[in-house]
Amino acid sequence: MAKITGAQCLADMLAGYGVTHVFMVPAVLRRTFAEMERRTKIKRIHTHGEKSAAYMADGYARASGRPGICMAQVIGALNLAAGLRDAHLAHSPVIAFTGGRDAKTKFRKVYQEVDDVPAFEPVTKFNATVDDVSRFPDMVRQAFRVAVSGTPGPVHLQFRGNEGQVDAEEAEMEPLVEEQFARVPPFRPEPDAKSVQSALAVLQAAERPVIVAGGGVRASGAAAELVQLAEALAIPVATSLNGKDCIAGSHPLSVGVVGSYSRESGNRVVAAADLVCFIGTAAGGMTTHVWTVPKIGVAAVQIDIEPETIGRNYPLKAGVLGDAKVTLAQMLAQCDRKSAARRAAWLQQVKTLCAEWREKYRAALESDAVPVRPERVCAELSRHVPDDAIVLADTGHAGMWMGGMYDLRGARQSFMRSAGHLGWAFPAGLGAKCAAPERPVVTFTGDAGLWYHIGELETAVRWNIAAVTVVNNNASGNQSKRGFDRAYGGEQTAKGRELWTYTNVDFARVASDIGALGIRVERPGDFSKALHEALKSKRPAIIDVVTDIEAIAPAAVSG
Residues at the contact surface with ligand TPP, assessed by CB under 6 A: 395-398, 420-422, 446-449, 472, 474, 476-480
Gap between the Cα atoms of 333 and 402, Å rounded: 35
Asked whether the CA dihedral 466, 470, 476, 480 is positive or negative, the reply is negative
In the complex with ligand TPP, the residue whose CB is nearer, 278 or 451, is 451
CB of 495 to ligand TPP, least distance (A): 18
In the complex with ligand TPP, the residue whose CB is nearer, 419 or 432, is 419
Which parts of 52-125 are beta strand (E)?
A: 68-72, 94-100
In the complex with ligand TPP, the residue whose CB is nearer, 483 or 525, is 483
CB of 264 to ligand TPP, least distance (A): 19
From the DSSP assignment, how many helices (H) and strands (E) are in the chain? 21, 20
Gap between the Cα atoms of 155 and 304, Å rounded: 22
CB of 166 to ligand TPP, least distance (A): 33
Instruction: Give CA separation, 188 vs 162, 235, 282, 322, in Å.
Output: 39, 25, 19, 7
CB of 480 to ligand TPP, least distance (A): 5
Instruction: Give CA separation, 416 vs 19, 92, 211, 428, 492, in Å.
Output: 21, 11, 20, 9, 34
CB of 502 to ligand TPP, least distance (A): 8
Q: Which of 515, 507, 483 has its CA nearest to residue 496?
A: 483
Gap between the Cα atoms of 260 and 558, Å rounded: 9
Q: Are 184 and 67 in contact (CB under 8 A)?
A: no
Gap between the Cα atoms of 44 and 52, Å rounded: 14
In the complex with ligand TPP, the residue whose CB is nearer, 126 or 401, is 401
Taking residue 522's Cβ as centre, other Cβ atoms within 10 Å add up to: 12
Helix (H) or strand (E) holding 3: strand 3-5
Burial class, 1, CB count within 10 angstroms (exposed 0-12 / middle 13-18 / buried 19+): exposed
CB of 472 to ligand TPP, least distance (A): 5
Burial class, 291, CB count within 10 angstroms (exposed 0-12 / middle 13-18 / buried 19+): middle
Instruction: Give CA separation, 1 vs 40, 73, 141, 172, 344, in Å.
Output: 22, 31, 18, 6, 68
CB of 498 to ligand TPP, least distance (A): 14
Dihedral Cα 68, 71, 77, 79, nearest 10 deg: -60
CB of 487 to ligand TPP, least distance (A): 14
In the complex with ligand TPP, the residue whose CB is nearer, 202 or 257, is 257
3 state DSSP class of 372: strand
Please provide the DSSP assignment of 161-230 as one string. Answer: BTT-GGGG-EEE------GGGGSS-S--PPPPHHHHHHHHHHHHH-SSEEEEE-HHHHHHT-HHHHHHHH
Q: Which of 430, 381, 393, 390 has its CA nearest to residue 413?
A: 390
3 state DSSP class of 366: coil
In the complex with ligand TPP, the residue whose CB is nearer, 239 or 547, is 547
In the complex with ligand TPP, the residue whose CB is nearer, 360 or 482, is 482
Instruction: Give CA separation, 76 vs 83, 93, 114, 526, in Å.
Output: 11, 20, 11, 42
CB of 527 to ligand TPP, least distance (A): 16
Instruction: Give CA separation, 395 vs 119, 384, 416, 446, in Å.
Output: 24, 22, 11, 9
In the complex with ligand TPP, the residue whose CB is nearer, 205 or 499, is 499
In the complex with ligand TPP, the residue whose CB is nearer, 73 or 472, is 472
CB of 367 to ligand TPP, least distance (A): 16
CB of 445 to ligand TPP, least distance (A): 6
Cα 533 → chain centroid: 26
In the complex with ligand TPP, the residue whose CB is nearer, 152 or 449, is 449
In the complex with ligand TPP, the residue whose CB is nearer, 10 or 378, is 378
CB of 244 to ligand TPP, least distance (A): 18
CB of 471 to ligand TPP, least distance (A): 9
Gap between the Cα atoms of 259 and 267, Å rounded: 6
In the complex with ligand TPP, the residue whose CB is nearer, 443 or 459, is 443
In the complex with ligand TPP, the residue whose CB is nearer, 243 or 477, is 477
